[in-house]
Structure 1
Amino acid sequence: MTEKKIGYVELQWECPNCGTINPGQIKVCQGCGAPQPEDVEFTQASRQELIKDEEKLKKAKAGADIHCAYCGTRNPAGAERCSQCKADLSEGHQRKAGRVVGAYRGGLAQKIQCPHCGTENLETANRCSQCGGSLAEHPALSSTAPQSAAKTSTKRGRSVLGILGLILLIGCFGIYFIFLRTNTTTGTVTDASWERMVVLEQLVPVKYQDWYDQIPQGAQIQSCTSEERDQVETPVEGSQEICGTPYNRDTGSGFAEVVQDCVYIVYDDYCTYSVLEWDEVDVITLSGDGFSPQWPNPNLPNDQRLGEGEETYQIFFSAGSEDYVFTTSNYDLFLKAQPGTEWQLEINSIGGVQSINP
């Protein structure tokens, strides 16, 4: 993503000694005079305003502050000696920068009540205009009563599972005895029948959708619409800039840089087109009795052809007083089952022929 810079805002910090909220650039607490500690964390006000003052902007862009290794005083970036003890700052510790503080919130500030005297103040104020008290929010710790876990009984669930298991077991036995368990008998081939089907295909227009530059030659374009095709990090001709929510990034100097991540959406023509392709339009069936099957062979125009075919054969057997029918798609097996030949038939419990063997 492309990072778009919007400006700078001033952050704030809370004095750990007295709780006073101080502007980010202030290095000594305005409430008790304590120096800003090295490990202090800058926060943002509930409402921020972009800095327009040139002097403040210069400080905001200077970089992260340096804490003196000897007295802990906070010094601006670029300083060579401590403003408090004059020590060399080459051994100092520069504040970390780059942390995302939060989403940027501009616009008009709302009014809040002072927690000490009830006076209304702008939410951007750090101290009450009436009593001078801190306007920092200190949310009360919410107490949550432990909830007793509901006891759930598993006895009913176990009985239901047991019943379902029993039904499944009975069903498996039923399938075995009806379909899988077979008896062997000898049958003699008495007759046969056959059916062969062939798919009839024809050149017909088939619709597709794709980007304009991907449409094959000879296709018939029907309609096109402009749609998002890609997202790029740098602007290109005809692209649309889409940016996320602006956010504040700590510069380490009591200020934050307001930035937002942007991408550029590239639009292109997405089209519906048609091409001529072979497609199924009908099924031609030919059937008959006996042992001489034939495939359908119709006279076809140039824009039609025969596609894939399917074949089904029925062989009739006589076994004493019983007659049986075996259905197969195996042409070689069908040819072997000539009239008068004897076969071993595997018969299931409902009289169906499962398999045959010569």
Structure 2
Amino acid sequence: MARKTVGYVHMEWTCPNCGSRNPGTETICGNCATPQPDDVQFEQVAQEKIITDEKLIERAKAGPDIHCPFCGTRNPANATQCSSCFGDLSEAEARQSGQTVGAHSTKAVPDVQCSHCGTMNIGTATHCINCQSTLPKKKPAQPAKSIPRALPARPQRKISPLLLIVLFIAIAACAVFFFLSMKTEETIGRVSNVSWERTVSIEGLVPVERETWEDEIPVDGLVGGCQEEVRYTSNFPEPNSQEVCGTPYTVDTGSGVGEVVQDCEYLVYDDYCSFTIDEWRVVDQVSTSGNNFAPEWPTPNLGLEQREGDYEEMYTVVIDTDG
């Protein structure tokens, strides 16, 4: 499927040193000044909004940020000198990118209560407006796991004597039937009658209605009505196609900005038509029969635009036995 960009959104990361939540574009923790390590991943914010800042969008398109090989500070992908220690970034390693972080969500989030002072804050806040403590990030509730109850032990059943007797009789009957079916006897008989019948089909050109795609109609076909139907799906836009996209989701670009994308395919429509064309069909049959040992084929009298079709024959022999 083709991937279509819907837009770009802010992300955030949690400082492993103090637990503070930081905007994705900030490379150093705003609380303890610890640089974001390369193994600390970006996360979705509580409520995503499409970014309109062209500078941030260009930063996301430039590629994943790189970490200074000397001090570990995160720098933009196109940086050549570390913003912290001024070291050379030619050997810097790029952050991991391209992983899906979750479905794109624009729904309003409920207010969150500070676990330190109890103040209520808007759901998108990362720090308490009263005491500046880091606010907890709500996680989706996990479904409770049901513990299966132990099944009661099955009581052992005893086989009744009557069932054993019935089973023995059934096996014995099968053995007798098999023995009798294998037995052969010599039988003397004589042919009392023979008969035969031979048939030749006569085919003629008959108008038949069929359906197919417009560009596959034979040149001698008479086109009837047509309607548009889906002929195939494509990963790319094509003439007379309809775009069908899945649920938007956010992908980590490695820059602190997430790319919201959709997986799309294109339903390509074409004309599916009915048409009429002449085809060879059975229009008549001629037969010959007899009771001798010299069967013969009938001679069909063909008309205009007719031809011989399938040949069929059937033989019957009656045998009388002495017993």
User: Normalising by structure 2, what TM-score?
Assistant: 0.78
Tell me what 1:135 maps to: 136
Equivalent of residue 272 in structure 2, options 263, 270, 273 = 270
Q: Distance in 2 between matches of 1:305 and 1:172?
A: 58
Tell me what 1:223 maps to: 225
Structure 2 vs 1, CA of residues 316 and 262 (structure 1 numbering), >3 Å: closer, same or farther? closer
Tell me what 1:260 maps to: 262
> Shift of the alpha carbon at 1:39?
0.4
Structure 2 vs 1, CA of residues 27 and 172 (structure 1 numbering), >3 Å: closer, same or farther? farther
Q: Distance in 1 between matches of 2:179 and 2:30?
A: 89
Q: Distance in 1 between matches of 2:178 and 2:309?
A: 38
> Shift of the alpha carbon at 1:41?
0.8
Pairs within 5 Å for 1:97-246 = 97-106=97-106, 109-114=108-113, 116=115, 121-129=121-129, 132-137=133-138, 144=145, 147=148, 150=151, 174=177, 177=180, 181-246=183-248
Pairs within 5 Å for 1:1-358 = 1-106=1-106, 109-114=108-113, 116=115, 121-129=121-129, 132-137=133-138, 144=145, 147=148, 150=151, 174=177, 177=180, 181-281=183-283, 284-319=286-321, 321-322=322-323
Does the 8 A contact of 1:21 with 1:136 survive in 2? no
Q: Which runs of 5+ in 2 are unaligned?
A: none
RMSD value over aligned CA atoms?
Answer: 3.9
Does the 8 A contact of 2:104 with 2:248 survive in 1? yes
> Shift of the alpha carbon at 1:268?
1.8
Name the amino acid aligned to 2:51: I
User: Normalising by structure 1, what TM-score?
Assistant: 0.71
SS in 1 for 2:90: helix
> Shift of the alpha carbon at 1:225?
1.0
> Shift of the alpha carbon at 1:255?
0.8
Structure 2 vs 1, CA of residues 177 and 20 (structure 1 numbering), >3 Å: closer, same or farther? farther
> Shift of the alpha carbon at 1:170?
6.1
Name the amino acid aligned to 2:223: I
Does the 8 A contact of 1:232 with 1:263 survive in 2? yes
Aligned pairs, number: 316
Q: Which digits, 9 at most, give the CA deviation of each residue in 1:127-165, with x for residues without a partner?
A: 344554413135688774754664786988x999xx99x
Structure 2 vs 1, CA of residues 122 and 177 (structure 1 numbering), >3 Å: closer, same or farther? farther
Structure 2 vs 1, CA of residues 57 and 185 (structure 1 numbering), >3 Å: closer, same or farther? closer
Name the amino acid aligned to 2:295: P
Structure 2 vs 1, CA of residues 138 and 312 (structure 1 numbering), >3 Å: closer, same or farther? closer
Moved more, 3-12 or 196-205: 196-205
Structure 2 vs 1, CA of residues 228 and 113 (structure 1 numbering), >3 Å: closer, same or farther? same
Q: Distance in 2 between matches of 1:169 and 1:3?
A: 70
Q: Which digits, 9 at most, give the CA deviation of each residue in 1:44-98, with x for residues without a partner?
A: 1242111123443344344322222232222223333333333322333221222
Q: Distance in 2 between matches of 1:155 and 1:170?
A: 30
Q: Distance in 1 between matches of 2:171 and 2:301?
A: 55
> Shift of the alpha carbon at 1:24?
0.5
Paired-residue identity, %: 43
Name the amino acid aligned to 1:26: E
SS in 2 for 1:185: coil
Q: Distance in 1 between matches of 2:206 and 2:153?
A: 63
Q: Which runs of 5+ in 1 are unaligned?
A: 323-358
